[in-house]
Structure 1
Amino acid sequence: MKDCRILITRPEPENTLSCERIRAQGWTPVTLPMLEIAPIQDAAQRNIIRAQVFDIDTFDYVIFVSKNAARLACEWLDACWPMLPIGVHWIGIGQGTTQSLLDEGVPALSNPGHTTEALLDWLKPAKMTNQKILIVRGVGGRPELGNKLEERGAKVSYLSLYERKKPDYSAQTFFMLPDINLIWVTSGENLDNLSEYVAMHKPEWKTLPILTPSIRVNEQAKKMGWINASCANGADDNSLIKATEFHTGK
């Protein structure tokens, strides 16, 4: 597949960066974000966030669930901490999230896998008892990580920095898109929003190859009628590019 047109559904600003990587591979990106990331703007909520960031040195572990969580948290850390506190274990879920932290000077570690489930396997249950853990995420994120850590005896708090919104697209948006050969999705919510629009405007897309970031999301895609769903074993560009190379025979 020489001229592969790939639909990129990441939210911005990551969408633009992924498109650059795709062009460098010789493929054609087609951008259609299926999530909008809106940083918290309410003044009262921002005051609460600021207080939480000032107290971040009281935690044993700080876990970032996404690149957006890492990006926005680093902005708050820069504003509140001229030097990072010592004694905190900084952890990113997935290589892309961890690399975003490293690029900003946060000495983060990443579990060998790329999912919440892999992180739970990596963190030793015996060492979680009475540990104070801060999970940095968007408003209303998946509760599984925090619940499982609490079951292991950890004391879990949340730092919610942004809201996720479904973009508003018209039928004209889909009518104007070029033909697509392959689709990238990077989260379950991303897939939900895409599937709603596809049901209305592009039902034929359900037969296209679609790359998902994890087994959980891949099973979700198949249940939603995506007959050619494959797991890329990661939401980062490198994992998705590798899976795309397999599909295109590059």
Structure 2
Amino acid sequence: MQGIKVLVTRPEPENTQTCQALSALGATPISLPMLEIRPLSSDAELSALRSQLYNLDLYQFVIFVSKNAARLAAELIDECWPMLPVGMHWLGIGQGTTQTLKDLNIPALSNPGNNTEAMLEWLKPAKMRDQRVLIVRGTGGRPDLAKGLEERGAIVDHLELYKRHTPEYTAQTFLFLDHPDVIWATSGEGLANLNNHVERFAPELKEIALFVPSKRVLEQARALGWQQAIYATGADDQSLMAATIQHLGR
């Protein structure tokens, strides 16, 4: 990665962590988050979340969709359950989310893939009829996971811990932005926000290699007119780095 300029669009705190990892490898990270994560924080919101978590032992499966979901949930679960309820399946979508859960002492498993579709495929052998599933996510997330599980007879609830917001950038931001060699977009929503800003302020960036984490986001990028959209097979740093090195022939 020596000398490669990478535009990193992850939300914080992952953005800073990824930039540090790139710097350690000799790359030049360019930080430009395209999502802002705002945890629910009012007394009423936190009270409602705790009330929901007191019933955590009613579920057979708890699925965390992101690192932010894992971090925020672990803090609340620790408040409500000094000892974790037993006999449950704790699942993280993607290796990064799963590792975050393990680091927070939640014994999570993960499928080999990194997205909703891979999780649904992995769960095909599992008996889901009448199983209660809690999906931990932000507000207004994709409905595909719940829909796929409900079609198999599962009873699905959501624990929504945060809201996603679009950061505000100006033409000046892009005027002084260091010109990247590659761009990393790690979610469909982040890509949509990036595309809106780029079309307004720096349309030339759409000619740069854009690395995305899934085939779904790859199709989205191509539909938006990104000329060099590349499937990186995952949203984690290792997958993105490997795809970048392969593309640049280093």
Fold conserved between structures, TM > 0.5: yes
Alignment partners' CA distance in 1, 2:83 and 2:34: 36
How far did residue 126 of structure 1 move? 5.8
Matched residue SS, 1:127: coil
CA-to-aligned-CA distance 1:124-165 (integer Å, 9 cap, x gap): 266000000000000000001001100100000000000000
- The equivalent of 2:99 in structure 1 is 99
Alignment partners' CA distance in 2, 1:76 and 1:248: 43
Alignment partners' CA distance in 2, 1:84 and 1:203: 50
Which 5+ residue runs of structure 2 have no aligned equivalent? none
- The equivalent of 2:154 in structure 1 is 154
Alignment partners' CA distance in 1, 2:56 and 2:173: 43
- The equivalent of 1:207 in structure 2 is 207
Across the two proteins, how many residue pairs are aligned to each other?
Answer: 250
- The equivalent of 1:167 in structure 2 is 167
Q: 1:48-87 to 2 correspondence within 5 Å?
A: 48-87=48-87
2:17 aligned with 1:10: no
Q: 1:108-123 to 2 correspondence within 5 Å?
A: 108-123=108-123
Alignment partners' CA distance in 2, 1:94 and 1:116: 9
How far did residue 42 of structure 1 move? 2.5
Aligned-residue identity in percent: 56
Contact 1:70–1:97 (CA under 8 A) maintained in structure 2: yes
2:40 aligned with 1:40: yes
Alignment partners' CA distance in 2, 1:242 and 1:75: 33
Alignment partners' CA distance in 2, 1:163 and 1:98: 21
Amino acid aligned to 1:213: P
Deviates more, 1:28-37 or 1:38-47: 38-47
TM-score by length of 2: 0.97
Matched residue SS, 2:134: strand
Alignment partners' CA distance in 2, 1:126 and 1:84: 22
Amino acid aligned to 1:190: G
Which 5+ residue runs of structure 1 have no aligned equivalent? none
How far did residue 53 of structure 1 move? 1.4
Q: 1:126 to 1:78 in 2, by over 3 A?
A: closer
CA-to-aligned-CA distance 1:168-193 (integer Å, 9 cap, x gap): 11111111111111000110000000
Contact 2:170–2:201 (CA under 8 A) maintained in structure 1: no
Alignment partners' CA distance in 1, 2:126 and 2:5: 48
- The equivalent of 1:141 in structure 2 is 141
2:230 aligned with 1:230: yes
Contact 1:125–1:152 (CA under 8 A) maintained in structure 2: no
TM-score by length of 1: 0.97
Contact 2:2–2:25 (CA under 8 A) maintained in structure 1: no
How far did residue 43 of structure 1 move? 2.0
